[in-house]
Amino acid sequence: MPNVEIPVEKWIGSIRPITLGATTAEGGTRSQTVTIGGEKTLPFLGFEGKAPNRPRIAVEVRATNPAADWPAPLVTAWGDVLGDLAAWTRAAEGTDGDIIVLQLSANDNNGQKMTGAKARAALRTVLKTTGLPVIVFGVGQAELDNELLVAAAEEGAGERLVLGPCEDKNYRTIVAAALANGHLVTSRTPMDVNLSKQLTVLIHDMGMPLERIIVDPTTGALGYGIEYGYSVMERLRVAALQGDGMTQQPMIVTPGEEAWRTKEARAGEGVPVAWGDWAARAVNWEAMTAATLVESGANIVVMRHPEAVGRVKKMIGELMTA
Amino acid sequence: MALSGLDIYKLLPGGQKPPHPKANCKECGFPTCLAFAMKLAAKQAELAACKYVSDEAKAKLSAAAAPPIRLITLSADGRKIEVGNETVLFRHEKTFFHPAAIMVRVPDTLSAAEIAKLAKAAADYKVDYVGMALQLDGLAVEAASGDANQFAEAVAAVRGACAMPLVLVTEDPGLMAAGLVKTAGVTPLLCAATAANWEAMAKLAKEAKAPLAVRADSIAGLAELTEKLVAAGVEDLVLDPAVRSFSGSLQTVTQLRRLALKKNYRPVGYPLITFPYLGISDPALEELLAGQQVAKYAGFVVLSKFDPAMIYPLLVLRANLFTDPQKPIQVEPGVYPINRPTADAPVMVTTNFSITYFAVANEVESSGLPGWLLVADAEGMSVLTAWAAGKFDAEKIAKTVKNTGIAEKVSHRKVVIPGHVAVLMGELEEELPGWQIKVGPREAVDLPRYLKTAW
């Protein structure tokens, strides 16, 4: 047989390892921690370099019942736990997820505005119920997020939570709260390599160690611009391996949120027959979105449907062998 | 991959060691051999201008001009698919050119009626995505029965039911010959030649003038086979790397693509065929492995079944990843009436990125509510991206409102902007005196509710 010499890239950079969660010995109450990053090669190319930590799946739970907004396949999958944060957290822990995301909402179950005190209570419930590392996401409104995330940061002091998203117009308060209470942050920028680097620099300049910044380069769902997120992530990974220090943060993306707001996931009636069975298509939409992002370099994917979580987890397992 | 100017220089008289007597003779019209080489690399000169270049160098240079991954065509009754000719590892480096052909397996163990039904369903499958008609590309008929007659009947049943390009799947040359008899009108891909059968398969491929897939579980094994087949006169080849798992497939196809593009290693310079259903531990993972292979780097992907809920996402993924990053799909800027709007219907503005446009237009359309959709020329970017890039600012929105002449079509002076650019409200009020700026939802999906309650 011909002697074929396989081209191997000699990368000089690597992704920064980051640990989520703190055990009792480390000042928190988590029963386990999760470490991401550390890759010295492009995703899953074991012949070329080491990837010591597998990509992780974070499963979303909420204190405010989303059943009225979420489409039937998603609501049915979780059932009654959607109205009970502790039960939902337990159920989420029972999926193949590795991390729990507490997604805060602008209003509580009674339609009242969310407050710092309510956010604290919700986080307390989640922390009491699960031993997994926890991410707390704000609602995306600057003023309200500052109130909610500062409260969450204090409530979870020492837990090495991840707080986010920090965006260019709204990061100082969240970063300060994370710094003061020993947490991590996500740095979210709209699908652009340079904007991602820039916000990492700004957050780092506030004194936040790079070992505590996870970037969210933002993604679109399958069919709704996923190729932009996909290519930005591939470019960030290549730049990181080539040694660009400000692109070496692990990446988190939110395929669950993106996929479940597409018409393909939401609409069961009045859609073409060629779209196929609603529930199957909807789960496929989320799984395919998440899987594609994992293969372009995501370290954490935030997901919603237990079945999609299970599939992507299995896929990651098969990609990490050999 | 094309040779660099320096690579070419080494093949010219000036680059020889010891120097050729005619080194830097200037007869080509350039001052030095190096200057000539640079022009050749830039395709601004013809090699024929040098009278002293050796035949060996000529052969090397013309070989280097051939595409590093051969273009393979499958055709049937006027329908044809082309794969190969790719030039990059990442779509952001340039673009992926020929979308992976997505095909459905047809085992010959099904009854003739079942086969006809399956073939027809696959051939008729068509789904609209942002104005593009997405379709399946072909059928892979597999001699699963091991019986020549049955295989021939299955191929005949498929041909009777549809006009799709075909792959014939068997490692038995006798069965392959039986199937080939029934393929009049089609140039099928024969799959596959192996170390054991390649001579007989080569003969069949040559007689049928059909491309031939080679199957081996190592890159060296594939290269050995293609070298033998090229020597035997079969040039249209496809590789079937029989390393099928998520991990094995990704690593193998990456190595193959790198060898073809970065090392210009001809023995693997062919498109790939994959069978994702053979590489999974759980049937639910077929779509994810198929998706991985569409992204990295299959030319043909054969699915185990016809299931629209799996095919639609996969076709959309393919459409997304094979979009030229330099040319996002755009719609024409202007005013789009939806559901027969009248003078009091809402006016909404968005960008001309096709996905953005279709997301918004679909929502309004399916709500049944009439509306005027203004599409701004944001250079084909989505709302957030265009806003971040300064292509969807107050000035641009104001210009769109003015240039589309919407003021003459409606009796009110209200315009809804996407919630993501709520910050533009103040500025826009200055740019559009007399207009009331209303902030709509961030996501198109929430538009119907907004139009019902807040307009």
Q: What is the pLDDT of residues B130-150, one digit of tens each?
A: 778 999 999 999 999 999 999
**CATH 3.30.70.260 given to domain B334-453:** no
Is residue B1's pLDDT more than 50?
no
Predicted local confidence at residue B307, as pLDDT: 96
Cβ contact, residue pair B295, A234, below 8 Å? no
**List of domains in chain A:** 18-320 (3.20.20.20)
pLDDT in tens, A119-128: 999 999 999 9
Angstrom distance (rounded) from CA A55 to CA A196: 20
Q: Which residue of A has its CA nearest to B136?
A: A274
Q: Are A162 and A103 in contact (CB under 8 A)?
A: no
B325–A231 CB contact, under 8 Å: yes
pLDDT bin (cut points 50, 70, 90) of residue B409 is very high
**Dist CA A122 CA A119 (whole Å):** 5
Nearest to B349 by CA among B329, B376, B384, B381: B376
Answer yes or no: do B317 and A276 touch at CB < 8 A: no
pLDDT at B66 over 80: no
User: What pLDDT, on a 0 to 100 scale, did the predictor assign at position B358?
Assistant: 80
Q: A291–B288: do the CB atoms touch at under 8 Å? A: yes
Q: What pLDDT shows up at residue A250?
A: 98
ipTM, 2 dp = 0.97
Under the banding of pLDDT at 50, 70 and 90, the label for residue B300 is very high
B121 inside 8 A of chain A by CB = no
pLDDT digits (tens, 9 = 90+) for A201-240: 999 999 999 999 999 999 889 998 899 999 999 999 999 9
Say how many C-beta atoms besides its own lie within 10 A of residue B146's C-beta.
12
Q: Say which CATH architecture domain B5-65 belongs to.
A: Orthogonal Bundle (1.10)
Beta strands per DSSP E along B204-351: 212-216, 237-241, 273-274, 300-303, 334-338, 347-351
Task: Provide the pLDDT for residue B2.
Answer: 63
Question: Mean pLDDT by 10-residue block, N- to C-terminus, for chain A (322 residues)?
Answer: 92 98 97 97 95 97 95 97 98 97 96 96 98 96 94 98 94 98 96 95 98 95 91 98 97 96 87 95 98 98 98 97 74
pLDDT at residue B239 tops 70: yes
Collapse the DSSP code of A251 into the 3-class scheme (helix H, G, I; strand E, B; otherwise coil) and give the result.
strand
Measured between CB atoms, does B263 come within 8 Å of chain A? yes
Say whether pLDDT at B3 is over 80.
Answer: no
Is the pLDDT at B366 greater than 80, yes or no?
A: no
Domain ranges of chain B: 5-65, 72-321, 334-453
Q: Is A47 helix (H, G, I), strand (E, B) or coil?
A: coil
pLDDT at B83 > cutoff 90 = yes
Instruction: Decide: pTM greater than 0.90.
Output: no
List the Cα angle B443/B444/B448 in 5-degree steps: 115
User: What percent of chain B lies above the pLDDT cut of 90?
Assistant: 74
Residue B27 in this model has a pLDDT that exceeds 60: yes
Contact B250 A274 (CB under 8 A): no
**Exposed / middle / buried, residue A113 (Cβ in 10 Å: 0-12, 13-18, 19+):** exposed
Of A85-94, B228-237, B356-365, where does mean pLDDT reach its minimum? B356-365
Decide which of 3.30.70.360, 2.60.40.290, 3.20.20.20, 3.40.50.720 is the CATH code for B72-321. 3.20.20.20
Residue owning tokens 């237990």: A306
Distance from the B425 Cα atom to the nearest Cα atom in chain A, whole angstroms: 17
pLDDT of residue A269: 86
